Chain A
Amino acid sequence: MKKTLVAAAILGLGLSAAHAQEVVKIGGAAPLTGTIAHLGKDLENGARLALEEANARGVTIGGKPVKLEFMGEDDQADPRTGTTVAQRLVDAGVKAVVGHLNSGTSIPASRIYHQAGIAQITPASTNPKLTQQKYPGVFRTIANDVQQGSVLGKFAVESLGAKKIAIIDDRTAYGQGLADETEKAAKSAGAQIVAREFTTDKATDFNSILTKIRSANPDVIFFGGMDAQAGPMLRQFKQLGITAKFLSGDGSCSPEMIKLAGDAIGANAYCSMAGLPIEKMPGGADFRARYKKRFNADVQIYSPYAYDAATAIITAMEKAGSAEPSKYLPELKKVNFDGVIGNISFDDKGDLKQGSITVYQFKDGAWVPL
């Protein structure tokens, strides 16, 4: 009895080795339902495309041909769901994860990936806290808010010629962090901060703080927060006769913002987003064509970053000759290649070394890159 079992086991092993290629699973997590589902799907498709192209070219890890398999999960942009799907990915044995989209989901999920010892590369979350946790497996292929804030502060002073700047933030981790970084950069570029005011991410009335700011007569008013506040805020600019330029970060750099601001938005509104518009990426045009052919859809925002994130993982695994996190993580820290978005290499915290920021201006009903 024992003998037959052993024999069957050996037979089975032989069979599986002969038949199936070794499979390495790579996870993806992003909101696939809800208001930003289109962006989540975009992210997932970027990672999927990288894996499929690598498979078509043939992946060899440690001398053995390997098939990469993608496993995508829906985190609903919700922190709690984010940790649930993170655990599901870990339980399914993924060797690395591309995701999540929101900082609010990336940060809690990063702990689960860290405990499992696997790599997480986010192509979208910009909050500095994510990499400040110093988890060795966390990376991002997009500029963080420290980088964004320093570009915004410099832009206000050098490009918009602002001497006096007023700053408002919504007291969230994102808004406050971005506002602090912008303030620092603007000050060191030589501007004077004439007012620092606060609101909340649920407020709709900014008349009192704007009235106060108006008396200080700033050239530029910066807002660290989301489009749902920035829209009404711009309307109140108009109602209070404020003519200062309005500058904000990626949270207010959306088509939604244009809709909510109505007729109060004009060429005095500027915002920034991490990354480059796809036309300006080194591999942008080619990527867009390949993406369109595969998914019959247009690139939204994050797919090029996700593509590069997945490529970084594959490159590190091939170099290390192993899909085991303990083996490939040191290689991932050292990757250095030219991806779709530009050079991909990480600093010691896991942030992109050459993260770029683009500033947009409102023109003819849309955000136009400057």
Chain B
Amino acid sequence: MDAETLQQLINGLVIGSVYALIALGYTMVYGILGLINFAHGDVLMVGAMTALQTMLFLMGVAPGMSPVAMLTLALLVAIPVSMLIGYTMERLAYRRLRNAPRLAPLITAIGMSFLLQTLAMIIWGRNYHTFPQLISTTPLQPVEGVFVTPVQIVIIVVSALLMIGLTLLVNRSRIGRAMRATAENHRTASLMGVDTNAVIAFTFIIGAGLAAVAGVMYASNYGIAHYGMGFMPGLKAFTAAVLGGIGNLGGAMLGGIVLGLVESFGAGYIERLTFGFLNSSYQDIFAFIILGLVLIFRPTGLLGERVSDRA
């Protein structure tokens, strides 16, 4: 494999693992409620902006603090804040609409997305902010001509750990069993003594926490943050969730990685593959063509949708 191909592979894996992490939030909520939470991308933004605010504060009061400690503290603030936002959305908006026609919560989710973005715009302004890159971005060169930065390695490792952790949580723990039961059948689960309201709230909280981590990693990688930063990764992660089979945890992870790789290789090779007919301005279209093809031949996504019969 030549250096360029290897580099595109790394590019794809980095962005793909961020997509995967966000996609998990979409897919968990969909699996349990059949709701596509369009505000999920903006929860990511709230996470990143809160972390930024915390870091700026810490730099002011304790300039000598070590970068790792600062990042950890920033995450310890950003994750609960995002979880609170996730919980509040569910409690105030979606819970009241649980028995409404499906369109109502969907539109509410879009409204929530606008609301979060506008609030963020009021609080942090329209400007782009520099996001402190506390993990080094000086590239290492493991193979001649292939560059990878420590922050990118951290992104891949942290995403992998979180995905493993979530899989264990859902498959092995008590609350995980409750989540699976609720996804299977809401009403039956509640008859069996599962507090479905609590389970659903918990799902939102976990998803929001993952989104906050994804947001901080995303902003650390690119070094910037602003109020609209959640929109594109949110949309891409939603695509990834559908690609892998929405409602399916493994599918979201696979879908995220596949989408990241398709985008990366698409932008890099589309011109050569189409003999100059298409160029990199079609890189997004390339990802959606793959999505279209997968959905034509496998309508439930790569790993199959987890269809709950209460929908």
Interface set of A (CB-CB < 8 Å, partner B): 34-35, 171, 196-199, 202-205, 207-209, 211-212, 214-215, 228, 231-232, 235-236, 238-241, 256, 259-260, 262, 264
Contacts and interface: CB of A to CB of B under 8 A. Distances in A.
A211 B130 contact: no
A207 B15 contact: yes
B88 interface: no
B99 interface: no
A262 B268 contact: no
A204 B8 contact: no
Interface string B215-249: 00000001110101100100000000000000000
A92 B8 CA distance: 59
B129 to A, nearest CB: 9
Contacts of A34: 126
A238 B147 CA distance: 10
B117 interface: no
Contacts of A205: 15, 222
Majority DSSP secondary structure for residues of B touching A: helix
A198 B133 contact: no
Interface in B136-157: 137-139, 141, 147, 149, 152
Nearest to A233: B222
B147 A256 contact: no
B223 A212 contact: no
Majority DSSP secondary structure for residues of A touching B: helix
B130 A259 contact: yes
A204 B232 CA distance: 10
Contact of A204 (B138, B224, B280): B224
Nearest to A168: B280
Contact of B267 (A212, A232, A259): A212
A239 to B, nearest CB: 5
B11 interface: yes
A235 B128 CA distance: 15
A231 B224 contact: yes
Given A204-B222, A236-B222, A239-B137, 15 more contacts: A34-B126, A35-B126, A198-B279, A198-B281, A204-B224, A207-B264, A208-B11, A208-B12, A208-B267, A211-B4, A211-B7, A211-B8, A214-B4, A235-B222, A241-B147
Given A171-B281, A232-B224, A204 B229 contact: yes
B120 to A, nearest CB: 16
Contacts, number: 94
Given A205-B15, A207-B11, A262-B130, A241 B267 contact: no
Contacts of A231: 128, 223-224
A212 B147 CA distance: 13
Interface of B: 3-4, 7-8, 11-12, 14-15, 126-128, 130, 133, 137-139, 141, 147, 149, 152, 222-224, 226, 228-229, 232, 263-269, 279-281, 283
Contacts of A228: 128, 224, 226
B224 A208 contact: no
14 contacts: A197-B279, A205-B15, A208-B11, A211-B4, A212-B267, A214-B7, A215-B3, A236-B222, A238-B137, A238-B138, A240-B139, A240-B147, A260-B128, A260-B224
A211 B137 contact: no
Contact of B280 (A35, A197, A241): A197
Given A35-B126, A212-B267, A239-B137, A232 B4 contact: no
Contacts of B128: 228, 231, 256, 260
A198 B280 contact: yes
Contact of A35 (B11, B15, B127, B279): B127
B12 to A, nearest CB: 8
A208 B8 contact: yes
B149 to A, nearest CB: 5
B223 A260 contact: yes
Contacts of A211: 4, 7-8, 11, 268
Contacts of A232: 222-224
B139 A239 contact: yes
Nearest to A215: B4
B4 A241 contact: no
B237 to A, nearest CB: 14
A111 B290 CA distance: 44
A241 B222 contact: no
A368 B223 CA distance: 24
B148 to A, nearest CB: 8
A121 to B, nearest CB: 29
B283 A260 contact: no
A198 B280 CA distance: 5
Contacts of A196: 279
A208 B268 contact: yes
B168 to A, nearest CB: 31
Contacts of B147: 239-241
Given A207-B11, A260-B223, A212 B141 contact: no
Interface centre among B11, B14, B141 (most CB of A within 10 A): B11
A211 B148 CA distance: 12
A212 B139 contact: no
A241 B263 contact: no
B222 A208 contact: no
A240 B148 CA distance: 7
B139 A241 contact: yes
A209 B139 CA distance: 18
A302 to B, nearest CB: 20
